[in-house]
């Protein structure tokens, strides 16, 4: 019983850390928005941009000005080769190899609809609506947003308590509920998490070929609370597409996303003046692979250069505590904005 209690307590602490990390990401995304509100009451600008995922649809002669472009996200059609190719290992007698092959097969047929992503978020990601879905100039929205951020390190009950006190004094006040303001924050920042069940002991995530299991494949612990279909523990994923769209929601940040285009042209001009040599190698834009892609128009104006950096770590010296840490790096931004070091 003590072991079960410790496991549950550990799972609850892990979920609390995940929620705190998610709130921190959303809070950082809103910081610029709040600073602007101090200067003007009209809220963030009402332009909405969509990221480019299909470079072949772009005109190579586009200008570099951050003008509004309605560029929706599309999932590319599966090629005939992909649909007929048989993944090696599916009939293997080695359990780990067979499971790996099953995950590869699941990735081949992966869609947003199978991802646990909210249908509203899927629609917004694909359509990239040209008009804002949140009226950020509304004073009642600003009030709820400031309350939400002020209580971000507290519990949901704290926000509800503030809202109840306000409603008791002003019954007609359209004070947004916790769920309503949270959803609107997700729309503004693009930070909209996807939740999946996982083993209480962190053995596996119940995704892909493990999605239909009721118990852990390794430790045999139950997936759900007794008598329910509510997972005992969950992990969250923040899809990058919605976050990229959030960078194009104001002309200021959209302009910053043109750095890679501008610096690529400058580097090529510099090389042309110096016999094909660069005076300084100070950024990933100086790399030959990128420059070749830029010159051959495999990478064009409006495309997004995205890097995934991932590494494993053991948190404790004398205890098994493996974990994987990954970050997204958006190379369209200059190094000044791409990376932030906090002391």
Q: Are 149 and 32 in contact (CB under 8 A)?
A: no
| pTM beyond 0.75, yes or no | no
Q: Are 174 and 140 in contact (CB under 8 A)?
A: yes
Residue 80: pLDDT band (50, 70, 90) is very low
Is the pLDDT at 312 greater than 70? The verdict is: yes
Beta strands in 241-281 (DSSP E): none
Q: Are 142 and 196 in contact (CB under 8 A)?
A: no
Residue 168: pLDDT band (50, 70, 90) is very high
Ramachandran class of 275: left when φ > 0, alpha when ψ lies in -120 to 50, beta otherwise: left
Q: Read off the pLDDT of residues 232-266 as tens digits, 9 standing for 90 and up.
A: 999 998 888 888 888 887 788 889 999 999 999 99
Q: Are 107 and 209 in contact (CB under 8 A)?
A: no
């Amino acid at each position: 019983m003590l072991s079960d209690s410790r496991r549950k307590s550990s799972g609850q602490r892990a979920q609390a850390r995940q929620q705190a990390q998610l709130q921190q990401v959303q809070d950082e995304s809103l910081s610029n928005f709040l600073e602007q509100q101090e200067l003007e009451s009209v809220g963030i600008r009402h332009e909405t941009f969509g990221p480019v995922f299909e470079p072949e649809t772009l005109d190579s002669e586009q200008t570099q000005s951050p003008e509004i472009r309605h560029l929706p996200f599309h999932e590319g059609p599966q090629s005939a080769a992909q649909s007929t190719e048989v993944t090696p290992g599916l009939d293997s007698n080695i359990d780990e190899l067979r499971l790996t092959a099953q995950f590869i097969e699941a990735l081949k047929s992966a869609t947003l609809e199978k991802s646990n992503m909210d249908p509203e978020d899927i629609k917004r990601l694909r359509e990239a609506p040209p008009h804002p879905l949140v009226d950020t100039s509304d004073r009642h929205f600003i009030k709820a947003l400031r309350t939400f951020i002020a209580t971000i390190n507290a519990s949901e009950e704290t926000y509800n308590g503030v809202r109840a006190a306000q409603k008791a004094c002003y019954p007609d006040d359209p004070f947004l509920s916790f769920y309503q303001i949270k959803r609107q924050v997700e729309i503004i920042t693009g930070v909209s998490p996807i939740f999946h069940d996982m083993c209480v002991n962190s053995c596996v995530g119940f995704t892909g070929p493990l999605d239909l299991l009721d118990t852990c494949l390794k430790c045999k612990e139950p997936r759900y609370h007794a008598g329910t279909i509510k997972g005992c523990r969950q992990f969250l994923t923040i899809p990058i597409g919605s976050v990229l769209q959030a960078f194009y929601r104001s002309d200021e940040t959209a302009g910053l996303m043109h750095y890679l285009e501008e610096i690529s042209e400058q580097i090529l001009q510099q090389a042309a003046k110096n016999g094909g040599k660069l005076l300084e190698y100070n950024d990933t834009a100086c790399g030959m692979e990128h420059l070749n892609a830029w010159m051959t128009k495999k990478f064009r104006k409006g495309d997004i250069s995205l890097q995934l950096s991932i590494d494993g770590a053991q948190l404790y010296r004398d205890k098994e505590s493996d974990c994987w840490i990954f970050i997204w790096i958006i190379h369209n931004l200059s190094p000044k904005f791409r990376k932030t070091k906090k002391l």
